[in-house]
Amino acid sequence: MSENPAVETAARVIAAAIVHGTSTDVAREVAQCLDDARLLVQRTAPVDGPFRVYVEPIPTGVTLDVEAFVQHVVYDIVELLLGDKYGDRFDGLVDVRSRDPHLIERPGDLPFECLVADLVADVGTKMPVYRPQVLRLAEQMLVRAAPQAIPGQRAEGGAAA
C-alpha cells in the first residue's frame, strides 16, 4: 500500500470510474475522473529557489514537498558526521548497541538523541521563501487545499449507494 495520498485517491477514483462508469471507453472515463479529481494537475513549484517547494493536495489540506531542502540538510549532516566535530560521537554510536537495554538513562546521557539535537542545532532548519514566491506558495496552498469530492463518494448526510 502506498504512503502517497494521491496514489490512494487515484486508486479510489479509478475503482469508482470502473464500477460506476457508463462509457464503453473505460480508459477515457477513468482519465476524465482523474482529471475531475484534479489528480492530473501538472506539478509546479511555486517556490523555485533556492530550494524548490511543491504543494500537493491531500484530503485534509496540503503537503509541502521540500525534498531539495531536506537533501541540502542531509548533505550538511553527512559532512558534519565525517568531519572532526562529530565524527568521534558518530563512531561511538556503534558502541551504544552493546549497552544494557534495560538501563535507565537521563536525557543528557542518551548519545543518539544528543547527537541528533546537536546536529539539528548546527544545520540550517529554515528555508527561505522570497517575496514573489510567498504569494505563489500561498496561492498554490489555497488552490490545493480546496475540498474536492471524490467521484462515487457519498455526500455528507446522504444515503449510501
Helices (H), 37-101: 67-82, 84-96
Q: Residues near 131 by Cβ (< 8 Å), separated by ≥ 6?
A: none
- Report field, pTM of the whole predicted structure over 0.85: no
Domain definitions of the chain by residue range? 5-66+127-145, 68-122
Give me the pLDDT at residue 132, please: 84
User: Whats the size of the chain, residue-wise?
Assistant: 161
Mean pLDDT of the 145-158 span: 68
Residue 147 in this model has a pLDDT that exceeds 70: yes
Higher pLDDT, 17 or 145: 145
Task: Work out the pLDDT band at 85, boundaries 50, 70, 90.
Answer: very high
Beta strands in the chain (DSSP E): 47-48, 52-58, 61-65
Q: What is the mean pLDDT of residues 142-159?
A: 70
Q: Does 96 score more than 70 pLDDT?
A: no
Cell numbers representing residue 73 in the block: 540538510
- Report whether pLDDT(86) > 80: yes
The answer to whether residue 52 scores a pLDDT higher than 60 is yes
Please check the confidence at residue 77 and state whether its pLDDT lies above 80.
yes
CB neighbours of residue 157 within 10 Å: 5
- For the chain, what is the mean pLDDT? 77
pLDDT over threshold 70, residue 135: yes
